[in-house]
Amino acid sequence: MNDTKRHITLIKTVLLALLIHIPASYGTGVISPYTKSLISEIKERNTADTLSLKSSRCDERLNCYILLENEEAVENLVSEGIEINSISGNIATASIPVCQIEEAVNIQGVKRVESGAPVSLSLDIARAETGADAVQSGTGIDMGYDGSGVIIGLVDSGLEYDHINFYDNNGNLRIKRIWQQGDNTGTPPDGFSYGSEYTTQSEIEGIKYDTPTGTHATHVAGIAAGGYRGSDFYGIAPNADIVYVKFGDNQTSVTDAISYIYSYAESVGKPAVINLSISSFVGSRDGSSFFDRVADELQGSGHLMVGAASNYGSRKMHMSGSFASPTDTVKSFMNGKYTLSNTDYIEAYGDKNSYLNVKVSLYDLANDKEIKASPVISTLRYSEYALTLTEGITGVINIYTETDYLSSRPHVFIEKKISNVNQGYAIAIKFSGASGKSVHAWGYLDDFSSNNKTGWNDGNNAYTVSEIGGTGKRIITAGAYCTKLFSQVSLNDISPSSSRGPTLDGRTKPDVTAPGNVVVSSYSDSPNIINSSYYAPYLSAGETVTVDGRKYYYGAMSGTSMSAPVVTGAMALWLQARPELTPEEAKEIIAETAREDEHTGDTDITGNTWGYGKIDIIEGIKSCLRLNSVKDAYSDNADNIKLYYSRQSESLKLLCLNDSDETSLSIYNISGQSVFEKQYGRTTAGEEYSETLSSLPQGTYIVKCRTKTRQYQLKIIK
């Protein structure tokens, strides 16, 4: 069997095992609105030479998600020259020639094609503030923890591979694998069709940088895993191994990166936590996107993921409202001045299984009237409309409507290409829908404003957590607070730019906050960085260390891109203590141990700013150790008592096998706090006791049943 057929057979087997049910009513395949917009842009780029349009578009490939109906779809795609890179459930990532994307949805078994949306880049005090110093030194716990035996995966851009911060004490590079997804000069990783993989220390050191024009990843990696103790600015998990992916052009590439990192970790038998200090604008923000579905599928025992909440907390990029009647409107203005090179996007989603109507117009603010408008367009069917403007505002506004299959929500996608805006004019957007239903809209570059007009909505900073880092159901989302004075932000208070929750489906986000404003960490020594006037003030906040005649740089950065690797480093320490830690256990430990103070207030109220509070690494690691100590009572053949828990009835049963004295029952949460106590005294063989636990909140609990001579333990998940 050749490699291509073997690959197809493997993918078909996995798909058959994991296939998600697809309703028969879904109908024929479609291309997502963003992908339609992107294809149009590529066509415009190539119209200068119409004779070469077909060939140039076929030479250019785009990484996409493909929703599959059945396992035969994989073979059909490959037979059409489409390269499958990874698959999870019924979602594949694939490299498709641009000239074939519009035809790909007609391939048998293909339900939807979606180009991943663009991705953007979103310690001394930080260690002490979070308890990492105490964990590394072993204060109050059984030993010190430094991330040994754990993989920290990074999907980022701007890494100096041979910075001294990434070596161990013996001079061995702790960066074990690199995949540069946009570099096609070398060999791709096994199972993937693009990029170049580097696997040896000499190869990695020989490359030096993934890009000489950035340092974001150098800073992020130093926070999570920097290990040079000759500087105060080493990281949270200084002895963890690092696997790095320089991400490609969109979300699909990030999905492939996650699969690659976890696969490497499995090959060396180590747990892994992946840091995503990146974000994407496009998506429903309710956990149903292609990216979130696959990311949730790939996480699990020993596979954690941490994402940045994003840095939109200072903006009014979100607008929402409800419809009192079908004729009621929710409306707002966008006033930004952006050139054609800065294409702007607006996205809107409504309630599930409902509809939206949208109307976009050029508005004369002084005379309070529309100058030119689109028709009212419904999401009840897929539609495209181009509104061309020549008076007051010059440009084109492309409007796409659909019902989004993945979220079952009405979806409006608007692309603005504006070259000129005269004073007194704005773009007006009006939504209507069914009675009692609502709409949420987001601007990418531009914010929403009422322009002080009655009945029009201002924007706000709620619901501003972004796709990739902020919306998945299993990912741990990190917000940022201030621990170092470098700007006007109040010490220990939330960073104004830290994005706020909730998600569109109502989940509290972020999950936790960590130092992110301002954090000092490693910097690239590229001349483009150290000689830059932009970076000069940030480098002045750090230091330069010289080792064997070579200078290594440290500097400041701010944002949730910095708080996320603090949490990633924390998860690496927790994984060292408990390698089988699951995302659900990690989130529960965060909920139980995160700190509240005068700045956070009551996080039951402020959770969509602070999450559960400020990360407390040492209390969290104690919870991991408590979970490790639990042994199920079933394993002891000499038991006098058996413990049984039914999740269906939410009841705990004690079966007495022999007579026992001084029998008692205690239940503790994972922070060690007692939540249930009962004394039974003498118990007789054959007796059974049942305790209802419906009043306890969902979570993980440790049950201890004691008699005069023995103790029995059981971990339950409610």
Strand partners, 440: 320, 349
User: Is residue 440 among the annotated active site residues?
Assistant: no
Residue with tokens 């060292």: 576
Q: 77 vs 83, 109, 116, 257, 623, CA distance in Å?
A: 8, 9, 18, 22, 48
- Spatial distance between the Cα atoms of 428 and 362, rounded to a whole number of angstroms: 6
- Spatial distance between the Cα atoms of 386 and 400, rounded to a whole number of angstroms: 9
Provide the 3-class DSSP secondary structure of residue 332.
Answer: strand
Residue 29 tokens, joined:
């395949």
User: Is residue 561 among the annotated active site residues?
Assistant: yes
Residue with tokens 């994402």: 307
**Catalytic residue of the set 279, 320, 466, 561:** 561
User: Is residue 563 among the annotated active site residues?
Assistant: no
Q: Are 242 and 155 in contact (CB under 8 A)?
A: no
Which one, of 79, 122, 201, lies nearest residue 563 by Cα?
122
Strand partners, 513: 479, 614
Q: Which residue type sits at 88?
A: S
Alpha helices in 160-289 (DSSP H): 201-207, 216-225, 251-267
- Spatial distance between the Cα atoms of 45 and 201, rounded to a whole number of angstroms: 41
Provide the 3-class DSSP secondary structure of residue 414.
Answer: strand
Q: 431 vs 45, 316, 320, 377, CA distance in Å?
A: 32, 18, 10, 10
**Catalytic residue of the set 146, 156, 292, 344:** 156
Provide the 3-class DSSP secondary structure of residue 382.
Answer: coil
Dihedral of the CA atoms 596, 600, 604, 610 (nearest 10)?
-110
- Spatial distance between the Cα atoms of 513 and 563, rounded to a whole number of angstroms: 7
Q: Are 210 and 217 in contact (CB under 8 A)?
A: yes
- Spatial distance between the Cα atoms of 140 and 134, rounded to a whole number of angstroms: 8
Residue 79 tokens, joined:
């037979």
Residues 6+ apart with CB under 8 A from 673: none
**Catalytic residue of the set 216, 303, 318, 411:** 216
Strand partners, 644: 653
- Going by the DSSP 8-state scheme, the letter that residue 325 receives in this structure is S
- The residues annotated with a catalytic role in the active site are 156, 216, 561
